[in-house]
Chains A and B, each alone.
Chain A
Amino acid sequence: MLIDINIDLPGPSSTRRQLPPQLVQFGTEELVLIELQGALEVEGNKDGQLVGKLRVDPNTKKPTMMIGHHLLEGKLVNLAKPLAVLQKHDSTPGAGEEDEAAMAVEDGYSPRTTMQARSWDIIAMVKKKMVFSKRPMPVVGTGSGKTSNAAPLSRIGSKAG
């Protein structure tokens, strides 16, 4: 089985939308990795739902995240080895034609024909990440109306192990 990985890094003419400027320093212009101790667990449909508010202090550059009544403090961590972020190649019409052409070439004897060919794109090269490594601190009374409405929807799962 062969899986192609193509490089699709954003160039100067990129049409992808950029992140807010204060977040760019934690990743690339389009993408940032946020590491959490534990995981976000949600029940039901989560499409477009609010998780929390991310704030970057303009002076100290410290990120903080409010999730419901929990405050998380984060920091910037440089990665020892850069990470390439891969995204599954979506089946846009153009991609579909490519796949068909590949199948035609493979016609006849080939160990590959039975397998489904898929491809991935390298969409970003990340050298930094935002890490929230501490336990969330409960905050009482400071949550604005908007945030507390969404509070029951998401919570920080406890750290595994």
Chain B
Amino acid sequence: MTECELRFSPSSSTDTGAFKLLELPADLCKLVESSADLATPARFTIKGATDEDAVLCTADKTYTVRSVVLSNSILVVTSDPSTSHTEDDDEPVQEIFIRDQLNEVIELVPSVPRLHKLNSLLRGREYDEGHEDEDMVSESDDEVTKKRQKFTYEDAQGAIQASDAELDKGLRDRRVLILNGELRPIARSHLTTILELILTNLVSLSLPHAAAPIATLLSALEDEHDIRRAVSRQVLKWFGRVDEYRGTWEMDVDAVIREVGLGLLRAYRDEPTYDGAFLAQWRKAVGDTFEDKVSLTLLSGNYLVSIDSLSEPPKTLLAYFPSSELPVDPWARFAELFLARPRWKIEEIAPFLADISVDAKERDKLLLKHARAVTDPDGIWYTARAKYNG
């Protein structure tokens, strides 16, 4: 039998519009094909509010969704959808059915996760010292709960156009706690306090920082300093590796020291401090065990250096200047950087461009476009490209 009859679907009204074609990049294609054998196959989710461009998320990647209109039409053809089991070999003619007629294909383009919305959604939800007892308050008083609507992890999954893995990383990078399912960014000063307490407890209880027993640490923090277990457990996860099986915590030394240093530096936003004094304060905060790990390079991209020429001999001043608070748009960022200081050495400006360029090549491209290189006996300086106000 080489001939078959092509017919319209017997239920064309329900079939029309019920099919779509999705063009898959190679990696997604593999994922789909391999998951056919799995007990729990992969799932994709299309996310986006009505005013946003839709994205498709896998477990760990985000793709922009685009509709491409075709000038030809594509027929989706299957065998008879209504009589599914009656195999009849005596059928004189085989029939196949047009289920739908399509004029567009959905294309997927890899995209960065759109996490910036998280910042505004989490504003005003900080978890700070003194919030330890709020659960009891909100339970007894309904008005308090009504005032502040909960923003849960599930809400974030719905509102943020990113895959679950990317969302988790975004929440971790922003130091957001999940308490009773609610997302609460931890107040930075409180985080510094907790980390300092962890450091002092490691010493006073003489626990090894590469394999500290979690239970001991958590109860010490709870009993003596009223830090809730749910909070300190998540903090431990951010700053090290938790071994659930053995119940131990391996501290990420650099990350902890960096965060403690940032906490101290934050006080010097408007009034710079001498670098010697700052380093001494920092060493004291992290304690004897870790003081030799303290280094300003850990804080690169977060401070500005200036020279106090009035003192004798001239001393170096540090001021808090975090790149994370600078604009994302390159033009605005350079404007802000040259406002902070008129000229920069390459090694000074590089840390402030790291998060808007993927590599050194792209960073140099940005410098070429937005800055002017000036050579003098001290080396190459970058200055603003044009003076916009005359």
Contacts and interface: CB of A to CB of B under 8 A. Distances in A.
A20 B1 contact: yes
A56 B159 CA distance: 50
Most-contacted residue by chain B among A49, A85, A160 (CB, 10 A): A85
A161 B21 CA distance: 23
Contact of B73 (A36, A52, A88, A161): A36
Interface in A1-15: 1-7, 9, 11, 15
B196 interface: no
Interface string B33-45: 1011100011111
A36 B149 contact: no
A139 interface: no
Interface string A43-80: 00011111111111110000001000000000000000
B189 interface: no
Contacts of B43: 4-7
A51 B98 contact: yes
Contacts, number: 196
Interface string A17-31: 111101100010011
A1 B71 contact: no
Given A81-B23, A84-B22, A20 B4 contact: yes
Interface string B4-24: 111111111110011111111
Contacts of B101: 39-40
Contacts of A55: 2-4
Interface stretch (B75-83, B268-276, B380-388): B75-83
A82 B29 contact: yes
B293 to A, nearest CB: 44
A20 B85 CA distance: 15
A85 B35 CA distance: 16
A151 interface: no
Nearest to A88: B18
A14 to B, nearest CB: 10
Interface residues of B, number: 68
A82 B50 CA distance: 28
A111 interface: yes
A51 B101 CA distance: 13
A35 to B, nearest CB: 5
B169 interface: no
A19 B99 CA distance: 13
Interface string A104-116: 0110111110000
Given A34-B75, A38-B72, A84-B22, A50 B158 contact: no
Contact of B8 (A27, A51, A110): A51
Contacts of B32: 7, 9, 84, 122, 125
Given A15-B85, A34-B75, A81-B23, 7 more contacts: A1-B49, A17-B79, A52-B5, A84-B21, A88-B18, A90-B18, A111-B49
Interface of A: 1-7, 9, 11, 15-20, 22-23, 27, 30-40, 42, 46-58, 65, 81-88, 90, 105-106, 108-112, 120, 122, 125, 129, 133, 159-161
Give 5 nearest A-B pairs by CB, closest first. A5-B44, A48-B10, A3-B46, A88-B18, A34-B75
